Amino acid sequence: MKTFSLNGTWKLRGQNEIRGGEMISIDATVPGCVQLDLSRHGLLPEDLFLGMNIRETEKYEEYEWWYERSFEAPGTDKNVYLVFEGVDCVAEYFLNGEKIGESDNMYIAHEFCLDGLLKKGENTLTVHLRSPQAVGLEGDMPMKHVMFGSKPQWRYLRKAPHMGGWDIMPRAVTSGLWREVRLEVRDSIRFSQYFFHSHYEPDFKHYRLGYTLEADSKAFDGVEMELKASCGEDSVIYAKSRVTSNRGILYFNIPNVKPWWPYGYGEPNMYDGTLSILQNGEVVHSIPVSFGVRRVELERRDALNGDEGQFRFLINGVEIMCKGTNWVPLDAFHCRDAERYDEALALVKDIGCNIVRCWGGNVYEDHKFFDFCDRNGIMVWQDFAMACASYPEDDTFKKKLAKEATAVIRKLRNHPSLILWSGDNEVDSGTQWMRDPNSNSLTREVLPKCVDLNDIERPYMPSSPFLTTPSYEAGVRSQAYDTPLIEDHLWGPRDYYKSDYYKHNKAHFISETGYHGCPSFASIKKFTTPERHWPYAKNEEWILHSSDQSGNDARLMLLEQQIRQLFGEVPTDPETFVLASQISQAEAKKYLIERMRIKRPYTTGIIWWNLLDGWPQISDAIVDYYFTKKMAYAFVKRAQAPFTVTADEPKEWGLPIYACNDTQEAKKGHLVIKDAESDEVLWQGDFAAAANGSTKIAHLPLYFSEKKIIIFQWEVDGVRGINHYLCGFPPISLDMYTKVLKKYPELDNQ
């Protein structure tokens, strides 16, 4: 196959689709979006994230756009395809003035066969993008879709939900060709899809590859398929088989099987090679392939009739303690996602995540994301792209969603890191007050059917959190936070991080929870204008950058309350205010992660919110948009290490000390516990920690009234570690805390 890039400079024209008016004409960059092009040409501010500038983009939401460029025909008119990897969002496509197709989904690729349509020499390609606002005004809408969820006018559009404004993202209603565009001249016989069924069992080495082919001829005389792959020199795969039709199975054996494991539990072994089609002994089509050998199971059981329930992932039969982050938009302008991948993914690995949850208000990430997760043992929980709203269930939308899901599943299913398909984010829990969640035909019928037809054995869950039984009564809203869920999003009052809400939650698995923290003051000065750097109170730029477009300062005031809760006062200078907020966030994130580890085997995972901001803001993220780490980064990194020592909450006149060992090997070591201020040794001794669990190793005498920081220092397998525990009820002395940080800089070593 030969490819010809159509990325680069295009011509762009735009006009208000609803009100008419003057036509804009500028150059555009592909991949890109019109807002960034308008910014480059001075029609929008240069830095759209500075101050209130993002609001300026709203005046172009009603615009329709025409992208246009010329290209040379590839020299053949057979098996020529035009491929758009991402188009945002409702589009018509024209070649030399003739319409060749249309699309209405930004999440998936769109392709068009150009056989017989190309002219010799120069051809002109035009893409017409309609205004999402204009499209949203068309057609009837049931009241249910108006009443639950924001942006009801977009409910029929397959466009990232966060773009209309979210509590983590600004309103940025983009349009554009946001992923690459190319021509492909495809081989006369080629794969249309393939799937490695790599079900791993210790004594089972017989595998299979399902495939379908596209070919110019229905005859397959002399056609063979060949697989060559290996994982090191001692596990080499070779298989060759005759092809008799355009669909079939290639069976093969794997000698000395090397399974894929998540980080902390073993090596993320990958098999790499080539899959080729031969005709009369000559290779006519060849593609690189990679796959991993592993079995994934989700053991899920509701807490009913005295049974406490269960929610846990098993990889190759081993329970995995999941620790990781919710993966949210990398950028408000998704055409910039690709340039942020390397630095963002390096953070995921460095901080010790073994799982990420791809949140349903986002786009679907590309192969580069999943390739990284494959090779670094990072499991991926993938939501389908629906979040916090009631979605249409008519036949038209069902077909649109099924097409999307099928494309996404076929694209991603060969990645061993992908361990779960989830139907949506918070639609069950959000709609429970008006309907039985099990009546949702999208997540109970359409999506599971797509998974069943296109994937094998990978678990599917209809929603997160998943409500299996009605919790509403005659249209009266239920007490959602009083209903124990085995897998839950732990938000609630967002009060003191050790309050009863957090401490006594019954969930086995927390798939969302977080706590606020300011970015550094240096970062704040990058996204606020000089006159709005400080103070935060009644500051429109701080309010907007707490992701509220309506002028509501509730999130800033919540941040203030969390600082006051921990320290008893709120600093009045910006640097100390930022420090106090970052300590508050760091202690909260640390507590929530360590709490879940200590409570094993009852608890089996926590996916906290979140690693990295997609625009500059005050948020739950522990790394800001500019990749500057907050204090919580170092705290989370220590809390997520495969082995750590930490403390439970005081009980029975003392502080229980635990060794948390999320590996498959038992550990032995030596531990010293001391007072951080006085250096008094409070306890020391040898300890043993069981494999893949939490082991109590000491009980330190302690009063609830003691307000101090305790330091844990240990050595295991020749490696030294350090952790700390903040003792006592608030208020805590900020001065004491900062002195300890200076004394032990390794606590905040990022």
- The verdict on 171 and 239 lying in the same domain is no
Please say if the pLDDT value at position 203 is more than 70.
Answer: no
Same-domain pairing of 14 and 148:
yes
Mean pLDDT of 96-120: 97
pLDDT, mean over the chain = 93
pLDDT, tens digit (0-9, with 9 covering 90-100), for 59-83: 999 999 999 999 999 988 899 999 9
Give the pLDDT confidence of 311-342 residue by residue, as tens digits: 999 999 999 999 999 999 999 999 999 999 99
Q: Please compute the mean of the pLDDT values over residues 496-517 and round it to a whole number.
A: 95
Q: What does the pLDDT look like over 664-696, one tens digit per residue?
A: 999 999 999 999 999 999 999 999 999 999 999
Question: Are residues 716 and 668 in contact, defined by beta-carbon separation less than 8 angstroms?
Answer: yes
| pLDDT (0 to 100) of residue 548 | 78
At 131, list the tokens.
């205004």
∠ CA 706-709-713, rounded to 5° = 130
Question: What pLDDT does residue 77 have?
Answer: 84
Same domain, yes or no, for 9 and 63?
yes
Tokens of 274: 């080539």
pLDDT band at residue 103 using 50, 70 and 90 as cut-offs? very high
Which whole number is the average pLDDT over 44-49? 98
Predicted pLDDT at 472? 45
Angle at 431 between CA 427 and CA 433, to 5 degrees: 150
469 pLDDT higher than 90: no
The per-residue pLDDT for range 421-465, each reduced to its tens digit, is 999 999 998 888 777 889 999 999 999 999 999 998 899 999 999
165 in a domain, yes or no?
Answer: yes
Residue 266 domain flag = yes
φ and ψ at residue 398, rounded to 5 degrees: -60, -40
Instruction: Pick the last residue of a domain from 245, 276, 291.
Output: 291
- The residue range of the domain holding 650 is 643-748
**What mean pLDDT comes out for the span 112-123?**
96
User: 474 pLDDT exceeds 50?
Assistant: no
570 phi, psi to nearest 5 deg? -120, 115
Q: How far apart are CA 601 and CA 292, in angstroms?
A: 28
350 belongs to a structural domain:
no
The answer on 203 and 168 residing in a single domain is no
Cis ω before 459 (30° cut-off from 0): no
Same domain, 273 and 174: no
Q: Can you give the CATH number for the domain in which 86 is found?
A: 2.60.120.260
> Based on the domain organization, do 158 and 215 belong to the same domain?
no
* Whether residue 194 sits in one domain with residue 181: no
3-state class (DSSP) for residue 280: coil
Q: Is residue 273 part of a domain?
A: yes
- Are residues 169 and 197 part of one domain? no
**Joined tokens for residue 373:** 């997760």
Residues 8 and 153 in one domain: yes
For residue 61, give the amino acid letter. E
Percent of the chain with pLDDT over 90: 86
What are the residue ranges of helices labelled H in 285-332? Answer: none
pTM (two decimals): 0.95
Beta bridge partners of 215: 189
Question: Do both 119 and 162 map to the same domain?
Answer: yes
| 313, 322 Cβ separation under 8 angstroms | yes
Q: Considering the domain boundaries, does residue 742 fall inside one? A: yes
8 A C-beta contact, residue 292 and residue 269: yes
Same-domain check for residues 66 and 178: yes
Say whether pLDDT at 477 is over 60. Answer: no
pLDDT over 80 (residue 282): yes
Contacts 24+ apart (CB under 8 A), 281-288: 281/222, 284/187, 284/188, 284/189, 285/1, 285/187, 285/189, 285/190, 285/191, 287/191
Q: Of the candidates 419, 420, 457, 414, which has an alpha carbon nearest to the alpha carbon of residue 292?
A: 414
Do residues 432 and 390 lie in contact, with contact meaning Cβ atoms separated by under 8 Å? Answer: no
pLDDT digits (tens, 9 = 90+) for 118-175: 999 999 999 999 999 999 888 777 777 676 766 777 778 999 999 999 999 999 999 9
Q: Which of 185, 202, 236 is the last residue of a domain?
A: 185
Alpha-carbon distances of 51 from 373, 572, 614, rounded to whole Å: 35, 22, 16
pLDDT of residue 551: 87
Neighbours of 730 (CB within 10 A): 14
In a domain, 450, yes or no: no
H-type helices in 599-655, by residue range? 631-640
The two structure tokens encoding residue 201? 């069992």
Please compute the mean of the pLDDT values over residues 90-110 and round it to a whole number.
Answer: 98
> Has residue 127 been placed in a domain?
yes
Question: Residues 347-364: pLDDT tens digits?
Answer: 999 999 999 999 999 999
pLDDT-based confidence at 480, cuts 50/70/90? very low
Q: Are residues 212 and 92 in the same domain?
A: no
What angle separates helix 574-598 from helix 631-640, to the nearest 10 degrees?
10
Q: What is the CATH number of the domain that holds 707?
A: 2.60.40.1930
Report how many domains make up the chain: 3
CATH number at residue 279: 2.60.40.10
pLDDT at 153: 72
Describe the strand order of the beta sheet including 654-661 as a list of residue ranges. Answer: 643-647, 654-661, 693-701
Instruction: Determine the 3-state secondary structure of 447 from DSSP.
Output: helix
| One-letter amino acid of 472 | Y
On whether residue 486 sits in a domain, the answer given is: no
Q: What is the mean pLDDT of residues 267-288?
A: 96
Alpha-carbon span 673 to 727, nearest angstrom = 13
Which of 140, 156, 185 terminates a domain? The answer is: 185
Closest by Cα among 92, 84, 83, 81 to 115 = 81
